[in-house]
Structure 1
Amino acid sequence: MAHATARACRRQRHTSVRAVVPGIIKDEQIFQPIESGFASYPKESFEFVLGTATGLDVARKAALVSTPSGPRSLPYDYLVLATGARSASPDMPWKSANSHEETLSLLHETAEKVKEAKHIVVAGAGPTGVECAAEIRFEYKDKEVVLLSAHEEVLGGDTIAKGVEAEVARLGVQVKRNARVRSSRPLPGGQTEVTLMTGEVIKTDLYLPTMGIVPNTEYLDASLLNKHKYVSVDECMRVKGVDNIWACGDIVSYPRAGFMLTDKQAAGVVKNIESTIKGKEQSAVKGMPVDVFICSTGRSRGAGRVGWVKVPSLFVWAAKGKTLGLNWLQRYAEGTQW
């Protein structure tokens, strides 16, 4: 019988940039207990393990985990790696920290800093940075919000870039193009000095870097990773070079991070494990029928596309901007989404 294991925090966090605006979202809207969602599974065939993955012994077919009660070695017949990613800036709340308590503390601290700051610099003009800057400016019309884009256009020049930039400009966000950050340092008075690659120096009350994520793959042998430290997988989401190990989510080498893509990957992995157990051929894991990319700009507008077709702002608000996906959190935590 396969041994089911999980690397999990005490609570599951659904990332929401809206939470950095004080008083808009309650803690329970972005944190939900996850262990109760497994209550219907028989104890003899399922075990919930609270801990952190620390190693993988492929030869012995065992996952090594650090738990509050000490280290454990969990044997497996089939293994799924889904340890996610963390923010490249460890003091930012864009991804889960080491624990629920640490993540909550970071979130509250950031929200309080946003409340007090008069001048805010958001570095990184990907979806997180754009939505963060828009959320702050939507709520606080008296704050000066500057969005730094490393490129000529926000969102890496996606086809909706111009529409999104128009929306954030409409809110009063200042967008600086070709503004890649070289360094930042705290100043004695509490401000932060941000130096751009051009040599320009910006002093701000609050610096919010949103650039990049780091895959949680330190526990894996380098032979399983690509040069960027993501897990190398094939079209079936199998980890290359080993047997009976799959991976999905933010740690895999392609296509890109995103919960809708992860849903498809997880479903495909389950089917392929079932096929393997039955001695059947595995199938390539298919993504979304069309690429959907929507970016909210505050609590009432946004821009997006379905495939190459741009969608109206009202659609983006209804699909994402209204709740930023928080309405799905409880169903995900309880396992009733599927």
Structure 2
Amino acid sequence: MTQELVILGGNFAGFVGAKTVLDKINPKLGQRAFHVTLISASTHAYFNVGAPRLLVEPDKIDSTLFSIEKAFAKYPKSQFTFIQGTVTNVDTTSQSISYQKPNQTVATASYDSLIIATGARTENVSYKLVGSHEETVDAVKTLNNAVKAAKTIAIGGGGPTGVETAGELSSTYPSKKVTLYTGASRPLEHLGKLGGPAEKKLVNLGVKVINNVKVLSASATADGKTTLKLSDGSESVVDLYIPVVGVRANTEFLDSSFLDKSGFVVTDDNLRVKGLKHVYALGDVISGTAKTVIDLDKAQKQVIEATLLNEHVSSSNKLIPHPHPKEITAAVPISKNGGVGVVNGWGLPSFLVKFAKAKDYMIPKAPGLFGIA
């Protein structure tokens, strides 16, 4: 008898979950194979890793978007169904999902198993897919036009995205005055020893790096500029402000008992949502994970496959716990020519960051990562 597995979210994590079930689990289940229903607010997935590069090369946006229906066209309707809709509620007692269609009508779907892969969002939809992919395309183009017109640009947030954005803008437009408010003791504070080299590279590109100051608020002026209120009590007026600090989990549809205090889904080491049977989570929506493409592709993918095999095929299949490495792995481009990076605690030379990510932000590799190529 066919089982119904619903996946919430149609970006990278949703793709990983769907293709794992269809290609790895179903062939071993026979008549008990899953029918997979994927529900997403967007008809397309978005390779948001390339977002900082799109700010200066928006013509590459089409290479970062992938039609969900085309990506899963090889699977018959008896195995896979795509539904465009925004999930509004998950009732874990009745195992039902409520979602709103594009025409604003509300519908429901039932599940035997569930994978939550709805990700997280930022204030600026250029960096994360929030609603439809058309909204993201419009946001990228609008921001690019604003960047071209601006003479002074402020970036709020000293994490990887903020550093990458500052590097892209300053290297592409050296005449513009770019200021990075890190809100911390240095850029990339959570990446330890990378902060110093990153700041040096940014300064060499002409970026004004201001540490230990946060942007508290931004308000438009009558002449089209933006006034920033800063945590040190001062104000700054700029032509353009780009906030890239903080992410919010897309989990408003879940009961708070399954979430941490920041709204991310709490799972065990096998990606099972704590307190629920046959409910799993993947990607950025999970509490306490690295929230990187590397973690999803190289770790979570293997973990969820092992968990599903153990629970739905045979308990003799060994579970694989999600690793919690003590050392950091990250690559942060600062212009096309390189950046800073670390692999398992070991420093990564700038030229390796260039070839691994900085030269093209992995955009040519996106189809393969989504399992399309």
Other-structure match for 1:103: 136
Distance in 1 (CA, whole Å) between partners of 2:201 and 2:261 is 36
> Would you say how many aligned residue pairs link Structure 1 and Structure 2?
333
Distance in 2 (CA, whole Å) between partners of 1:265 and 1:288 is 13
Greater CA deviation, 124-133 or 248-257? 248-257
Q: In structure 1, the residue corresponding to 2:351 is in which secondary structure? A: helix
Distance 1:269 1:197, change over 3 A: same
1:129 aligns with 2:166: no
Query: Pick from 19, 23, 32: which aligns with 2:54?
Result: 19
CA contact (8 A) 1:265 1:287 kept: no
Other-structure match for 1:216: 250
TM-score (norm 2): 0.85
Counterpart code for 1:98: G
Distance in 1 (CA, whole Å) between partners of 2:172 and 2:108 is 48
Distance 1:50 1:270, change over 3 A: farther
Measure how far apart 1:331 and its partner are.
2.2
Task: Please list, as runs of the form range in 1=range in 2, the aligned pairs for 1:26-37 lying within 5 A after superposition.
Answer: 26-37=60-71
Gaps of 5+ in 2: 5-35
Distance in 1 (CA, whole Å) between partners of 2:206 and 2:65 is 31
Percent identity of paired positions between Structure 1 and Structure 2: 29
Other-structure match for 1:113: 146
Other-structure match for 1:314: 351
Distance in 1 (CA, whole Å) between partners of 2:142 and 2:372 is 32
TM-score (norm 1): 0.94
Distance in 2 (CA, whole Å) between partners of 1:39 and 1:24 is 28
1:48 aligns with 2:82: yes
Q: Deviations over 1:116-136 (max 9, x none)?
A: 000000110100000001100
Q: In structure 1, the residue corresponding to 2:121 is in which secondary structure? A: strand
Gaps of 5+ in 1: none
Counterpart code for 1:283: I
Other-structure match for 2:31: none
1:228 aligns with 2:262: yes
Q: In structure 1, the residue corresponding to 2:83 is in which secondary structure? A: coil
* Alignment RMSD (CA, Å): 1.8
Distance 1:135 1:229, change over 3 A: same
Measure how far apart 1:312 and its partner are.
0.9
Q: In structure 2, the residue corresponding to 1:49 is in which secondary structure? A: strand
Distance in 1 (CA, whole Å) between partners of 2:61 and 2:266 is 35
Measure how far apart 1:292 and its partner are.
1.5
Greater CA deviation, 141-150 or 4-13? 4-13
Measure how far apart 1:156 and its partner are.
1.6
CA contact (8 A) 2:58 2:140 kept: no
Distance 1:322 1:289, change over 3 A: farther
Task: Please list, as runs of the form range in 1=range in 2, the aligned pairs for 1:269-288 lying within 5 A after superposition.
Answer: 269-280=304-315, 282-286=319-323
Measure how far apart 1:34 and its partner are.
2.4
Other-structure match for 1:84: 119
Counterpart code for 1:140: Y
Measure how far apart 1:289 and its partner are.
9.8
Distance 1:289 1:152, change over 3 A: closer
CA contact (8 A) 1:272 1:282 kept: yes
CA contact (8 A) 1:276 1:282 kept: no
Counterpart code for 1:250: D
1:171 aligns with 2:208: no
Q: In structure 1, the residue corresponding to 2:81 is in which secondary structure? A: coil
